[in-house]
Amino acid sequence: MSAGMNRSQGLSSLKRKQPDSKSPIESLTEHERILYNLIRSKQDMAIWTRDMKRETNIPDNVLNKSLKSLQAKKLIKEVVTIQNKGRKHYIATEFEPSKEITGGAWYVEGSLDTEFINFLKKHCVKIIYEQKIVTLEEILDTIRRSRAFNVEFTTQQIEEIVNALVLDNEILEVKSTGMGEFNSIPIGKVCYRCASKAGLKAEPKIGAMASIPCGVCPQISLCTPDGIISPTTCVYYTKWLDF
Amino acid sequence: MATPYGIKLAVHLITNHFGTLVAKVCDNLLRRGPLTLQQVIRYTELTPQQVKNSLLILIQHNCVQAFTLESQGGFGDGPKANTQYLALFSNILHRMRFPKFLEIVSRELDQECKELLEGLLQNGRLTLVQMVERAKSKRKDGCREDAVREGLTKLLAAHFVERCPAPEPLVPEQVKVETTSKKRGTKSAKINEESETIEQRVLAAAGPMEAQRFSMITNTEFDVNGETSTDDSPSLIVGEKRKRDSLELDRESTAEEGEVVLWRANFEEFLRRLRHMACIENVRASLDDGAVKVLKAKLDATRGLEKKVKTEKSVPLSLDNIFEEVIKSEEGRVMTLDDVRASLVQLGCPASARGTADSYSIDLKKIIESAQNDEVESIVLKRYGRDAYRIFRLLSKNGRLVETDKISDTTFVEKKDAPKILYKMWKDEYLHMEKLVLAPNRNILLWKVNKRPLWEHVLDEMFHAALNLSLRAAYEWDKEKEVINPLEAMTKEERLKQKNIRILLDSSLLKLDDAIMLFHNF
């Protein structure tokens, strides 16, 4: 599964924070040493090449050559920041880029890994639908046992996904009463069930206001009975009534 | 409360039913609050006779209530009384819903009752004699006065009809409390608060005593002096015998009886029924049939005991009584006591394994709020998209200010997209925003959903949409009537299409009106 494969590098690498002790620090040139110390001083926040030039006054060609050398020696690595994807940022290898610049576990190369997230969401909904009512730990357990992904998820990560599903109104968060369908779950424990009785394919009910052109109209505040935008001249109405 | 578009909609309804002169008077009363006759004449620039006639029509149809505010005059004068006229915004809007009220009576009572109610809705208010006359003129085979009396009795028993209020009650001056006026913010909020209080006070002063409200027995049999003896408020005067010097209502009086009672539709009861129906429908969508049966049974059993329409919790009832009510219907008989208990838990009642004598009360306010949330969230989803829907739900559930970054993290929205979506919703007044300045170039934006102002804003948009639907329907109807020449007459398909258009517009308005009631009346 390609989605899983890509993610294994992203997620599992976030967990490893061991410094590489075999780096040849001694064989650095003067410029390389200055740059390396500067990059290291920024710790997990990384630094933009332009900022490096400003702080060290090293000319461009020397700067680039030094950075290439440091990279080859595996002392620094390039990272993409979510705020400025086009600008080259560098970080010392012993640091993992902070959440502020990567966006967090769900970001890949500066963008939200939407495909993976949606896949994981659908998988969770399926688990909840099949088991009718389920706790967070049970979801995590089912995912682990299913071996559908070759990465380990933390409880927090699954909780984030499940919370997003609650916000999508695809599932409901409920508290166990210990009775009936909550039989095996301790009273008060948070669990999840599908929001709609129809299950996976159900569409949320459209409200009265949302069913008419005015409900979704971006110009409603400009519309008046006799104005340029009015119900009698409205193109959305004409389209809606043209069936 | 009367929002800007609410007023426009109300005036539109009055124009359609009674013409532009009456609408002008109504418009002034809605926008300016209670006015005296002289003030109305001055603001509308109509003749005194035109204004008087308009007010008479509006009072006849329960859209305006006259009252006298007791106020202290200047030095040396005694307390002065000046008749003022108050527009009843909610009652004007009810004119859109008459078909719904008729349908309720048709379903619960019989055809005779429905026709009686129709007469009351069409004429505003009638005496029993007028009702009989109307029934006679409608039926070619003649009709028995008993049948009409019987129909009226049934309607009164179900509280669908009530006695008309006093024509001009005396409302005592309210003792002003200093602290409350200082707390109020904007001027318009103050006017709204004050006028709401005035409306409540006037209606309370005008309304007949509960014991008399739904009783056929005339006043003369109750008391002699024209003053009610068990009444708490000394200002309540049952107005039939009181001398009036300003307006004379067109009313019959029979010498023998001495008292003639005017009857009108009791909007409060219809609203209560519709509110119960809305609760049941909402529960049907989110829970199972068992819960629906139990809720319906409980509401049916305790309807007569509810004090006001916007009751927060249903009247407490024991499990035994609930079960008794449930098994009255055929579908209910399949339920066991345990089923009923489980349904009550589903409806939010705390689980109790003790006896069957425990009282259960269902939180109706929560059901209504959930329906309101669904409606607003549906608008957000359709208008701004799925990402915005998640964001809105997060802020709505949270109830507190949340930072942009936290919002994009929790809702899985791209960090660069979140601010754009939030800004769009804020510009349309769906979100509240606050800026936190941490350093010269470091600002953090915080966002929140403020339910009360948002609900008012959504309601105003709904009034606007209802007005639009109504205007478009009128426009389409005019288009159809423009075809005069038979040669140019519409083809069968065109006629069918116009018919379908009208059906769509009418049904959309009825559905939207349910949503309006959800926010305004329930």
B387–chain A nearest CA distance, Å: 9
Q: How far apart are CA B362 and CA B203, in angstroms?
A: 29
Contact between residue B86 and residue B57 where contact means Cβ atoms under 8 Å apart = no
Those residues with Cβ within 8 angstroms of residue A24's Cβ, 6 or more apart along the chain or in another chain: A73
| pLDDT (tens digit per residue) in A80-97 | 887 777 788 888 888 888
Those residues with Cβ within 8 angstroms of residue B497's Cβ, 6 or more apart along the chain or in another chain: none
Residue B512 and residue A241: Cβ atoms within 8 Å?
Answer: no
How high is the pLDDT of residue B74? Answer: 53
How high is the pLDDT of residue B270? Answer: 94
| pLDDT (tens digit per residue) in B99-150 | 999 999 999 998 989 999 999 999 999 999 899 888 888 876 666 788 889 9
Token pair recorded at residue B70: 């007791």
- Among A161, A203, A212, the strongest candidate for a mutation testing the B interface, having the largest count of B CBs within 10 A, is A212
Q: Per-residue pLDDT averaged across A66-84, rounded?
A: 85
B516–chain A nearest CA distance, Å: 9
Residues of A in contact with B515 (CB under 8 A): 207-209
- Of the two residues A219 and A147, the one the predictor is more confident about is A219
Q: Per-residue pLDDT averaged across B293-303, rounded?
A: 85
| pLDDT (tens digit per residue) in B439-456 | 888 889 999 999 999 999
Give backbone dihedrals phi and psi of B75, rounded to 5 degrees, phi first. -60, 135
How high is the pLDDT of residue B342? Answer: 79
Say whether residue B414 is in contact with chain A using an 8 A CB cutoff: yes
Q: How far apart are CA A198 and CA B195, in angstroms?
A: 47
Residue B465 and residue A225: Cβ atoms within 8 Å?
Answer: no
Q: How far apart are CA B486 and CA A15, in angstroms?
A: 82
SS3 B248: coil
Would the pLDDT of A158 be above 60? yes
Question: Looking at the partner chain, which of B8, B411, B476 has a beta carbon nearest the beta carbon of A164?
Answer: B411
Question: Looking at the partner chain, which of B285, B409, B415 has a beta carbon nearest the beta carbon of A205?
Answer: B285
| pLDDT (tens digit per residue) in B491-512 | 788 888 888 999 999 999 999 9
Q: How many CB atoms lie within 10 A of CB B387?
A: 17
**For the whole model, what pTM was predicted?**
0.81
**What is the fold of A113-194?**
Arc Repressor Mutant, subunit A (1.10.10)
- How is chain A split into domains, by residue range? 3-111, 113-194
Those residues with Cβ within 8 angstroms of residue B334's Cβ, 6 or more apart along the chain or in another chain: none
Q: How far apart are CA B8 and CA A42, in angstroms?
A: 62
Contact between residue B127 and residue B261 where contact means Cβ atoms under 8 Å apart = yes
How would DSSP label each residue in A196-229? Answer: STT-TTPPPPPPTGGGSHHHH-TTTTT--TTSSS
Residue A179 and residue B512: Cβ atoms within 8 Å?
Answer: no
Q: How far apart are CA B136 and CA A173, in angstroms?
A: 61
* Domain A3-111 and domain A113-194 have a common topology: yes
How high is the pLDDT of residue A243? Answer: 79
Say whether residue B442 is in contact with chain A using an 8 A CB cutoff: no
B152–chain A nearest CA distance, Å: 35
B14 closest CA partner among B4, B22, B6, B2: B22
- Among B427, B472, B478, B504, the strongest candidate for a mutation testing the A interface, having the largest count of A CBs within 10 A, is B472
Residue A223 and residue B475: Cβ atoms within 8 Å?
Answer: no
Residues of A in contact with B423 (CB under 8 A): none
For A196, which residue in chain B has the nearest alpha carbon? B286
Question: Looking at the partner chain, which of B377, B379, B501 has a beta carbon nearest the beta carbon of A215?
Answer: B379
Residue B383 and residue A215: Cβ atoms within 8 Å?
Answer: yes
B468–chain A nearest CA distance, Å: 5
A90-99, A102-111, B282-291, B370-379 — which is least confidently predicted?
A102-111
Residues of B in contact with A224 (CB under 8 A): none
- Of the two residues B7 and B497, the one the predictor is more confident about is B7
Would the pLDDT of B514 be above 50? yes
* Range A3-111: architecture per CATH: Orthogonal Bundle (1.10)
Would the pLDDT of B231 be above 90? no
CB pairs under 8 A between A and B: 124
Say whether residue B288 is in contact with chain A using an 8 A CB cutoff: yes
Question: In Å, how far from its chain's centre is CA B329?
Answer: 30
**Averaged pLDDT of chain A:** 82
B122–chain A nearest CA distance, Å: 28
For A112, which residue in chain B has the nearest alpha carbon? B414
Tell me the C-alpha to C-alpha distance, in Å, between residue B323 and each of A74, A134, B301. 76, 31, 11
Q: How far apart are CA B503 and CA B494, in angstroms?
A: 14
